[in-house]
Amino acid sequence: MYPANMRYTYQHEWVDIQENVATIGITHHAQEELGDIVFVDMRKPGERVEVGKSCGTVESVKAVSEIYSPVTGAVKELNNDLTANPELINQDPHGKGWMLKVALDGPVDLGKLMTAAQYEIFVQQESGH
């Protein structure tokens, strides 16, 4: 369910790092918990994001949730498709539902992020299974 090439945070974001660019989104579990997503607001291109700090919000029919950056760098690109179709996050959270791309300041400490297998265990433990 969770792509093995990505890393995951304890706040339910995923990151896919290719060379010096990180693509960020929320996990299948996160979108499931949120319900129908109706609005997305992310930092704009050129703005900086920092590990563990908010890089935007996702609004669902249930709540508004902060999205926390798993990396530090400058926002390079937003997924503009989410403006008209925020439900892409519900339909394809690890693909077409990506949120932003960040040009990394330097190497990412992957030890602070979970592998897909570790994340699956974390989700099971968190939900009491």
Query: Which domains, ranges and CATH numbers included, belong to the chain?
Result: 7-106 (2.40.50.100)
The pLDDT tens digits of the residues spanning 58-112 come to 999 999 999 999 999 999 999 999 999 999 999 999 999 999 999 999 999 999 9
- Average predicted confidence (pLDDT) for the chain: 96
Please classify residue 12 by burial: count the beta carbons closer than 10 Å to its beta carbon, then call 0-12 exposed, 13-18 middle and 19+ buried: buried
Task: Please state the pTM of the whole predicted model.
Answer: 0.95
Q: List, in order, residues 6 or more apart from 36 with CB less than 8 Å away.
A: 60, 61, 87, 90
CA distance 101 to 23: 4
* Dihedral angle sign, alpha carbons of residues 21, 23, 24, 30: negative
Q: Name the token pair of 47.
A: 């703005």
Question: Taking a C-beta distance cutoff of 8 angstroms, is the pair 35, 64 a contact?
Answer: no
CA distance 128 to 57: 26
Question: Any idea what DSSP says for residue 114?
Answer: B
CA distance 116 to 26: 13
Percentage of residues in the chain with pLDDT exceeding 70? 99
CA distance 33 to 53: 21
